[in-house]
């Protein structure tokens, strides 16, 4: 699995993240710098949700213009725990991005939320349109394997947000997701190595399981 940490400007943390091969998740609502790392681009909806603000479309557009073409993937705008209304919003942006040739090579991820069913997004999935598993913590853990399987069946990426513990990393591996992100490793340098050990262990276990299958 590929690990992403929320972008940080703390040099000690960046050095530790670089040493273990993590990438950065750059938020449209944060500082738009990649610090020389490979990165993915988040839409900033989580920050808006935490601050009880409306989604900042201007900030997202600015981030896409500056960093979108170089991103591993872009998380399409969504409504945190917004149900099917979130999909309506994401679909509008998904349609709009079809008219931006500079972004055609960058996968776009649709954030699934509590209440989503596979049928809601199956027609949209492809190697260039994947799944970002959002929603509440309990729903995320309960359904992530379902989303990982759906994505894999369509050659798509499945990414899980807000993964900040070794237990969550193991759950992601067990579900078969491709990548995850979290803020813990960015804020607390001491957590990076324990989280990386968990990632390495789950990758080894997953490899052995696939060899045995």
Distance (Å, whole) CA 192 – CA 190:
6
DSSP character string of 157-194: -EEE----SHHHHHHHHHHT-SEEEESHHHH-GGGHHH
Structural class in CATH, domain 2-75+84-212: alpha beta
pLDDT in tens, the chain (213 residues): 999 999 999 999 999 999 999 999 999 999 999 999 999 999 999 999 989 999 999 999 999 999 999 999 999 999 998 899 999 999 999 999 988 999 999 999 999 999 999 999 999 999 999 999 999 999 999 999 999 999 999 999 999 999 999 999 999 999 999 999 999 999 889 899 999 999 988 765 554 455 555
- Cβ contacts of 26 within 8 Å, gap of 6 or more: 7, 32, 33, 34, 39, 40, 41, 42, 63, 67, 71
The domains of the chain are located at 2-75+84-212
| Cβ atoms 166, 173 nearer than 8 A | no
Helix (H) or strand (E) holding 19: helix 11-20
Full-prediction pTM beyond 0.95?
Answer: no
């Amino acid at each position: 699995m590929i690990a992403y940490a929320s972008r940080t400007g703390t040099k000690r943390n960046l050095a530790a993240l670089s040493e273990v091969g993590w990438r950065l998740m750059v938020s449209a609502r944060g500082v738009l710098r990649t610090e020389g790392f490979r990165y993915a681009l988040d839409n900033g909806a989580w920050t808006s949700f935490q601050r009880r603000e409306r989604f900042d479309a201007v900030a997202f557009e600015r981030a896409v213009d500056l960093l979108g073409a170089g991103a591993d993937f872009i998380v399409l705008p969504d409504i945190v725990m917004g149900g099917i209304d979130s999909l309506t919003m994401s679909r509008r942006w998904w349609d709009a991005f079809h008219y931006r040739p500079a972004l055609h090579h960058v996968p776009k991820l649709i954030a699934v939320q509590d209440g989503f069913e596979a049928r809601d997004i199956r027609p949209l999935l492809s190697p260039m349109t994947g799944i970002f598993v959002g929603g509440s913590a309990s729903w995320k853990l309960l359904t992530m394997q379902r989303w990982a399987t759906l994505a894999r069946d369509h050659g798509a990426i499945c990414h899980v947000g807000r993964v900040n513990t070794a237990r969550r990393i193991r759950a992601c591996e067990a579900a078969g997701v491709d990548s995850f992100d979290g803020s813990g490793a960015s804020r607390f340098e001491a957590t990076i190595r324990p989280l990386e050990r968990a990632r390495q262990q789950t990758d080894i276990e997953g490899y052995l399981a696939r060899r045995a299958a």
